[in-house]
Amino acid sequence: VWITYVATDGSESRVDVRSGDSLMMGAILNNVRGIDGECGGCLSCATCHVYVEPEWAQRLPEPDSMEIELLEGVMAERRPSSRLSCQISVTAELDGMQVLLPESQA
Ligand code: FES
């Protein structure tokens, strides 16, 4: 599943993420910089913050209450499009998706 991670400087990393992996894992496994994922995806660090634009966000399940709570603690600006990438599971439906990386994670 092709996912493009876009850094704040506009540089793009287009990588092939295994279906079933999280967006966070996809970045880590492909050496995409800009997502730390310190807690390994157990929803305690908020260093996997990304921005998902509405056209893609509408294809995702809504964030659960734990994710919403943790989003309060992100380092970079929190926007309506803010999500934690460890909570987004990659599916074939997301092929071609773009996610924006925040300025910083920590
Ligand atoms: Fe820690 Fe997502 S990787 S909350």
ipTM associated with this complex: 0.99
Structure confidence at residue 18 (pLDDT): 98
Whether 106 maps to a domain, the answer reads no
Looking from the CA of residue 41, the nearest atom of ligand 1 is 3
Output the pLDDT for position 54.
96
In a domain, 22, yes or no: yes
**Pairwise CA distance, residues 48 & 43, whole Å:** 9
- What pLDDT is stored for residue 106 in this prediction? 86
The Å distance, Cα 36 to ligand 1 centre, comes to 8
pLDDT at position 99 is 98
Measuring from each residue's beta carbon to the nearest atom of ligand 1, which residues come in under 6 Å? Answer: 24, 37-39, 41, 43-48, 70, 84, 86
Domain CATH code at residue 36: 3.10.20.30
Range(s) of the domain holding residue 49: 2-100
Helices (H), 15-94: 23-29, 54-57, 65-71
pLDDT of residue 2: 98
Do β-strands 2-6 and 82-84 pair in parallel, antiparallel, or remain unpaired? unpaired
Residues of the chain with pLDDT under 50: none
- Please report whether residue 84 resides in a domain: yes
| 105 domain-assigned | no
Number of structural domains in the chain: 1
Task: Evaluate whether 75 touches 106 at the Cβ level (below 8 Å).
Answer: yes
